[in-house]
Amino acid sequence: MLKDSPSIHITVLDMDETYTISAYPGQYRSLMMMLYDQIYLEDFGECLGMGRCATCAISIEASQTPLTQFNRNERVTLSKEGIEDPDIHLSCQIVVDESLDGAVIRIYHPEF
Ligand code: FES
């Protein structure tokens, strides 16, 4: 691998699609911003990372280390939407750092 290649690689599952996205540590303010920038996701991240809308919800399918999180409003916002699954998180509250490398996440769609 080249020395200056992005060091964070994430597999993203969305419906029947699978994406691999990459970033440098600190390149994005949050996982939500990385997803917003690299994959077109309709109606995603509507509060722009304030932790209030839950439209950026994702589930963690696999990760090698605990993810780094801000945790602003996360559980309150998710429970207002009836989401109690501890594997579902607000992607705007997840830091894009080395702990995300190798993670597999799924875009959460409440209707499925
Ligand atoms: S963008 Fe609204 S809760 Fe994450």
Question: What domains lie within the chain, and their CATH numbers?
Answer: 8-107 (3.10.20.30)
* CA dist., res. 13 & res. 41, Å (int): 12
Residue 67: phi and psi, rounded to 5, are -80, 150
Intervals of the chain under pLDDT 70: 1-3, 112
Atom number of ligand 1 nearest to Cα 45: 1
Neighbours of 54 (CB within 10 A): 22
For residue 16, what pLDDT is reported? 94
* Amino acid in position 75: R
Biggest CA pair distance of the chain = 45
State whether the beta carbon of 57 lies less than 6 angstroms from ligand 1: no
For residue 77, what pLDDT is reported? 94
State whether the beta carbon of 29 lies less than 6 angstroms from ligand 1: no
Cα 45 to averaged position of ligand 1 atoms, centre (Å): 5
For residue 69, what pLDDT is reported? 80
For residue 112, what pLDDT is reported? 65
Neighbours of 76 (CB within 10 A): 10
State the average pLDDT for the chain: 91
